[in-house]
A and B are shown apart, each in its own frame.
Chain A
Amino acid sequence: MKRELTITSQAIEEAKLIAGRKMSAGMGAAVYFAGVVREMEEGKAISAIDYEAFKPMAERQFHLIFDQVEKRWPIESIRLIHRVGIVKVNEPSLWVEVIAPHRGEAFAACQYLIDEMKRVVPIWKKSV
């Protein structure tokens, strides 16, 4: 399974990411998810979220999740980008793409990956 993991303070450029998609002829499903900053956080209006990561551990924990994904589903590739620093309302803080032979495993792997990220990957947010 190919993996591309990026934790960055740079903006996520979705159009560029989609244009750069690579999938082999046997793959029938490309699922992607963008997590976007909402204007309300715990009932309060905000202008942005400031993300902090313990980067080396976050990378390690993401790779442990990818290992589990690889064991459970026949995934060809994962690309995942998570922002750190200030992310304004309406901008994506997370972008994930899963390429698989069929939609069932692509959706399941994407959901699992994000659920596990929210449980173990050391990234925190502060409303701005």
Chain B
Amino acid sequence: MNVSVQFFSYFKDLAGCPRFVAAVAPEATIGELLDVIYKQFPKLEPMRKSTLVAVGLEYQDRAYVLKDGDEVSLFPPVQGG
């Protein structure tokens, strides 16, 4: 199945693109999606622990089971204010 992934802040620079579509196994978790992402964009891997992940507009943890067509966002810790 396919999920769209978008990057924010300096993750866009490290990935070299603002978004891409990832092909993952049915019922893949966010953790498994991250493995796919790090293979394609290895410069993101050093931030693995601090990376925040949202599906749609909500934060989700690494065990979250993805659905076909999910919109996943990856970004570094936030810095508003």
Contact = CB atoms under 8 A, between A and B. Distances in A.
Interface of A: 35, 51-54, 56-58, 60-61, 82, 93-94, 114, 117-126
A122 B81 contact: no
A114 to B, nearest CB: 6
26 contacts: A35-B81, A53-B80, A54-B8, A54-B54, A54-B75, A57-B57, A57-B73, A60-B58, A82-B81, A93-B81, A114-B81, A118-B78, A118-B80, A118-B81, A119-B78, A121-B78, A121-B80, A122-B8, A122-B52, A123-B78, A124-B9, A124-B10, A124-B75, A124-B76, A124-B78, A126-B10
Most chain-B Cβ atoms within 10 A of its Cβ — which of A114, A122, A123? Answer: A122
Interface in B23-57: 52, 54, 57
A117 B8 CA distance: 17
Nearest to A59: B57
Interface of B: 8-10, 52, 54, 57-59, 73, 75-76, 78-81
B57 A118 contact: no
Contacts of B80: 51, 53, 58, 82, 94, 117-118, 121, 123
Given A54-B73, A60-B58, A124-B78, 20 more contacts: A52-B8, A52-B9, A53-B80, A54-B8, A54-B54, A54-B75, A57-B54, A117-B80, A117-B81, A118-B79, A118-B80, A120-B78, A121-B80, A122-B52, A122-B73, A122-B75, A123-B78, A123-B81, A124-B9, A126-B9
Contacts of A120: 59, 78
Contacts of A122: 8, 52, 54, 73, 75, 78
Q: What 8 A-B pairs come out closest when comparing CB atoms? A: A123-B80, A124-B9, A60-B57, A57-B57, A35-B81, A121-B80, A125-B79, A117-B80
Contacts of B76: 124
Given A54-B8, A54-B73, A124 B57 contact: no
